[in-house]
Structure 1
Amino acid sequence: MTTSLGPHAPLNPTTSPGPNAAGTPRPGLPERLDALEARLGDPFDAANPLGFGPILAADERGEMFDAGEEALHGYGLGAEFVPAALGGRLTRLDHLVEIMRSLYRRDPCLGLGYGAASFIASVNLWTAADAEQRRAAADLLLSNKRIAVAYHELAHGNDMARTEFTALPDGDRLLLDGRKEVVTNLRRAEAVVIFARTSPAPGSRSHSQLFLDKSALPADRYRDLPRFRTTGMRGVQLGGIEFDRCPVPADSVLGAPGQGLETALRSFQITRTTLVSMFTGIVDTGLRTTLRHTRDRRLYGRTALDLPHVRSVLTGVFTDLLTADCFATVATRALHLLPAQTPIYAQAVKYFVSKALMDAMTRLSSVLGAHFYIREGGTAIFQKLLRDIQPAGFGHAARAACQVSLMPQLPLLARRSWLPEADGAPAALFTPGGELPPLDFNALALSAAGREQLSSSLAAGLAAMPADDSQAGRQLRSHGEHFVQELSRLAEACAALSPAELSVTASSATYDLTTRYVRVLVAASCFETWRHARASGGSFLGDATWAAAALHQLRTPLGAPPAALPEHLEEPLWEELTRRHEESVSFGLLERRLSATG
């Protein structure tokens, strides 16, 4: 296949009509997904210049994978981050996630260092920039240029309200002073979005974001800081910059002065949801690598795959990958369908999905044993992926920060949303690949004000559950009833929380309430995705097995390792996993034909 999409390729809204490997229709996947997979080729092929061998060599050198970047130039990846109205291909965030998963499956450094960094910056522009700024940003990305986003200062981390970097008025211009550190692509980017204090007054209205063309900055007023070296994502260029009374035009500000924090908080709802969803591609390859190794590894006179414990671990990881993908997909669709509620879902996705993925890779490493850290041979890519997945838990926002952000919202949610008579979420939320309305950046809210519909969808879905007398169906109903009762228990406990229990000084029991609530959200996502797939019939998602397994795992006591799945759930999931591996199909919700060999 030689399909080529150049950097200015027009939006192609068509979806692939062809079947997936199982012979069922592929819902809502654009044809250009296959074009990217074909361009990149089989990563396990030793002769592929875009395969794991050259990727690992670049990682050993601590460099970005040049051949991969050139391939993405040819594909025109920057167009994926530009709205269609500005000449790009961005119409649906779920499609963008699928595109980026192709990169994270192969080389997470390409995913973050080539793609996601510019996406994070651009979301701020589409949210707050004026027409001229949006046009300038679109032209850069459509020409394979980069835009960095500089939030971080080592002294303050994610505490943006304490930002020391300033852009204070000086006549008809602003003067930049201070440092930004640990910023992806800061030296390589042609432009930068930078978060700065634009007023010495206290409060959230004292900060703005600026969009700067680096070529227009006076060279004697800033300097690049030495690169920050990292354990994982070794190829990603993390830099810093220091300004000394550097003049920039006053109209560099995005939106009105003082709105920088609001813009960032709206943008984070998109990026925290989609970026961690992209990381599922790492676990896809980690699982595939482990399957390949255990298939060929002989122990005690048999292959490792013949050992019940090995199969149990691999099936459990497959279940957790499906669970994480389901929740992330529902939350990504909510950005289109329920944008006023995504201040809740974005935090919950980052908190839950990142840990699920990191834990899955750790369990896979236990199956590989000594082979998980060897830097050569058939499993060499695994040690890189194990290092590269760690930023899922702290990059852009730490899991603990997301948990703390959810905590003060619990009492209001209990009073306004966790009610027996509450309406569930729209059916479109639970149809992966289904049609979506256009993304409206202006509809993103700073606060959900205690309103969210996903958690209450479980009770409504359980009442409408179709008859399923299979063992998996009966178990799924039992698990669903448990989580409906759990929400009722949470409502009672959270409504009684005192103000002292709604901050970082809260007790561990209150922190546990956020974890329990997030599990209810995940359970509702899986149950309702299954129920709506069951209604349409004919697909793996419509089989109660995977959803029953997902809710079974979610009921694991807090702090305990996941228990083995019951045999009646494990066996059919193992068969599905091995089929997908043999047919080179992705392990997520929407089966995609991959270039990787089984």
Structure 2
Amino acid sequence: MSDFDLFRTTEDHEELREAVRSVAEGRIAPHAAEVDEKSAFPQEALDALVATDFHAPHIAEEYDGVGADALATCIVIEEVARVCASSSLIPAVNKLGTMPLILGASDEVKRRYLPEVAGGEAMFSYGLSEREAGSDTANMRSQAVPDGDGWVLNGQKSWITNAGVSKYYTVLAVTDPEGARGRNVSAFVLHADDEGFTLGEPERKLGIKGSPTRELFFDNVRVPGDRIVGAPGEGLKIALRTLDHTRVTIGAQAVGIAQGALDQAVAYVKERKQFGKHIAEFQGVQFMLADMAMKLETARQMVYVAAAKSERGDEDLPFYGAAAKCYASDAAMEITTDAVQLLGGAGYVKDFPLERMMRDAKITQIYEGTNQIQRMVMARQLLK
């Protein structure tokens, strides 16, 4: 590979983009407005993604997956998010929920769960945040107490994406209350039908309304010992390593939302006439479009570089993953806001998808670590 190839996607990546775009435009986009309006899970999107193996493309071939690399997975998420952010959380959260297993679980645990996700029979969610432990994850209150050859889990988790539709959940809990903060947490796989495991009511959200977000409650949930992910005490380390990889996918989601908004804005200004000419002919509009496209392409390149680092497991991934997520989500918020502005009154009404895209973009600045936390991660890497 020459140095000049580093920033070019392969022919396979571009063929994948075309394939995903075709599925997204043909089978996901037609339902996006209704999914948002009714806060309904995008079942049509799930069916379409499973049928084409785009629902969990990151799972390796040895676990019956298609073995897509990190960049290919980002392209899938980006192209789905371009038409429906809620639907893009299907591949994104399947990766988030299973990444702790991929990074830290025994082969036996991987073989038990990953093929089911790869085959589309199950989805996987991720339970890290709590009411009082959002950005401060080490402050979590959920506890798992040893009991015979297993554990008994009590506590709750907040803001869990795809809760209620996922069959499995990677859940973090304190297993050594007297242990050193951050080294006293373990990770477990919970099943939706585990006794004592219940869900809160769906949250009523600003955006991504088609992706259910609910609390998880654990009331003396018995977890067999063979469902631990990694060794006791390794949970938080695995959870934070997971986020290094999956923040890149949120960057990809942000890029997709922003691209969808820019596409809509460009199409509109070429058609709309004021003062006797298309508004695309006004320099003020052209400058706005140029700035939007420039920010978008910068974000895309950052995400793709971070994805390559994720694939290789580079040491500087924590910086690049945080930077890509932070920059791309800030850019998506700016681009969607400007796209609404370019459509004027039309941008503000639900007849056009831009107000939805603007609402959907906001969450990318918040979840998987707020952008304030991303800046702390980056600074910590710089100051090491």
Tell me if TM exceeds 0.5: yes
Match of 1:126 in 2: 102
| CA-to-aligned-CA distance 1:539-592 (integer Å, 9 cap, x gap) | xxxxxxxxxxxxxxxxxxxxxxxxxxxxxxxxxxxxxxxxxxxxxxxxxxxxxx
Residue number among 287, 292, 295 corresponding to 1:320 in the alignment: 295
Residues 186, 51 of structure 1: CA spacing in aligned structure 2 closer, same or farther, 3 A cutoff? closer
Larger radius of gyration: 1
Q: Distance in 1 between matches of 2:9 and 2:56?
A: 27
Match of 1:396 in 2: 368
Match of 1:213 in 2: 191
Question: Equivalent residue of 1:282, what SS?
Answer: helix
TM-score with structure 2 length normalisation?
0.92
Match of 1:242 in 2: 217
Amino acid across the alignment from 1:312: F
Q: Distance in 2 between matches of 1:115 and 1:338?
A: 20
Question: Equivalent residue of 1:169, what SS?
Answer: strand
Once the two structures are TM-superposed, the CA of residue 268 in structure 1 deviates from its matched residue by 1.1
Q: Distance in 2 between matches of 1:312 and 1:57?
A: 33
| CA-to-aligned-CA distance 1:241-278 (integer Å, 9 cap, x gap) | 21221211122211110000110111111101232123
Once the two structures are TM-superposed, the CA of residue 85 in structure 1 deviates from its matched residue by 2.4
Match of 1:381 in 2: 353
Check whether the contact 1:195–1:210 (CA below 8 A) recurs between aligned residues.
yes
Check whether the contact 1:81–1:122 (CA below 8 A) recurs between aligned residues.
no
Question: Equivalent residue of 1:276, what SS?
Answer: helix
Check whether the contact 1:30–1:95 (CA below 8 A) recurs between aligned residues.
no
Q: Report whether the alignment pairs 1:171 with 2:148.
A: yes
Amino acid across the alignment from 1:212: L
Once the two structures are TM-superposed, the CA of residue 75 in structure 1 deviates from its matched residue by 1.3
Q: Report whether the alignment pairs 1:71 with 2:48.
A: yes
Once the two structures are TM-superposed, the CA of residue 32 in structure 1 deviates from its matched residue by 4.1
Match of 1:199 in 2: 176
Q: Distance in 2 between matches of 1:78 and 1:313?
A: 35
Check whether the contact 1:90–1:96 (CA below 8 A) recurs between aligned residues.
no
Residues 79, 115 of structure 1: CA spacing in aligned structure 2 closer, same or farther, 3 A cutoff? closer
| CA-to-aligned-CA distance 1:130-181 (integer Å, 9 cap, x gap) | 1121112222212311011111112221211111011111222211101112
Residue number among 76, 94, 117 corresponding to 1:99 in the alignment: 76
The structure whose RCO (Cα within 8 Å, separation 6+) is larger is: 2
Once the two structures are TM-superposed, the CA of residue 68 in structure 1 deviates from its matched residue by 2.1
> How large is the Cα RMSD of the aligned pairs?
1.9
Q: What count of residue pairs does the alignment treat as equivalent? A: 375
Check whether the contact 1:81–1:141 (CA below 8 A) recurs between aligned residues.
no
| CA-to-aligned-CA distance 1:343-377 (integer Å, 9 cap, x gap) | 2212222222221221122222222222211111x
Amino acid across the alignment from 1:205: R
Check whether the contact 2:65–2:119 (CA below 8 A) recurs between aligned residues.
no
Once the two structures are TM-superposed, the CA of residue 30 in structure 1 deviates from its matched residue by 6.0
Alignment of structure 1 residues 134-283 onto 2, 5 Å: 134-144=110-120, 145-203=122-180, 204-215=182-193, 217-218=194-195, 221-283=196-258
Q: Distance in 2 between matches of 1:258 and 1:402?
A: 24
| CA-to-aligned-CA distance 1:53-85 (integer Å, 9 cap, x gap) | x32122111112232222122113234031122
Residues 338, 270 of structure 1: CA spacing in aligned structure 2 closer, same or farther, 3 A cutoff? closer
Residues 173, 338 of structure 1: CA spacing in aligned structure 2 closer, same or farther, 3 A cutoff? closer
Residues 149, 26 of structure 1: CA spacing in aligned structure 2 closer, same or farther, 3 A cutoff? closer
Q: Distance in 2 between matches of 1:163 and 1:279?
A: 28
Amino acid across the alignment from 1:81: H
Q: Distance in 1 between matches of 2:313 and 2:199?
A: 41
Residue number among 42, 45, 51 corresponding to 2:29 in the alignment: 51
Amino acid across the alignment from 2:357: L
Q: Distance in 2 between matches of 1:149 and 1:73?
A: 20
Once the two structures are TM-superposed, the CA of residue 225 in structure 1 deviates from its matched residue by 1.3
Question: Equivalent residue of 1:410, what SS?
Answer: helix
Amino acid across the alignment from 1:74: A
| CA-to-aligned-CA distance 1:306-335 (integer Å, 9 cap, x gap) | 111101111111111111111221121122
Residues 409, 283 of structure 1: CA spacing in aligned structure 2 closer, same or farther, 3 A cutoff? closer
Residues 146, 124 of structure 1: CA spacing in aligned structure 2 closer, same or farther, 3 A cutoff? same
Q: Report whether the alignment pairs 1:39 with 2:23.
A: yes
Identical aligned residues as a percent: 22
Residues 82, 410 of structure 1: CA spacing in aligned structure 2 closer, same or farther, 3 A cutoff? closer
Q: Report whether the alignment pairs 1:343 with 2:318.
A: yes
Q: More strand per residue: 1 or 2?
A: 2
Q: Distance in 2 between matches of 1:347 and 1:50?
A: 29
Once the two structures are TM-superposed, the CA of residue 28 in structure 1 deviates from its matched residue by 4.2
Q: Distance in 2 between matches of 1:404 and 1:81?
A: 28
Once the two structures are TM-superposed, the CA of residue 395 in structure 1 deviates from its matched residue by 0.8
Check whether the contact 1:79–1:90 (CA below 8 A) recurs between aligned residues.
no
Unaligned runs of 5+ in 2: 1-7
Match of 1:435 in 2: none
| More moved, 24-33 vs 184-193 | 24-33
Once the two structures are TM-superposed, the CA of residue 393 in structure 1 deviates from its matched residue by 0.5
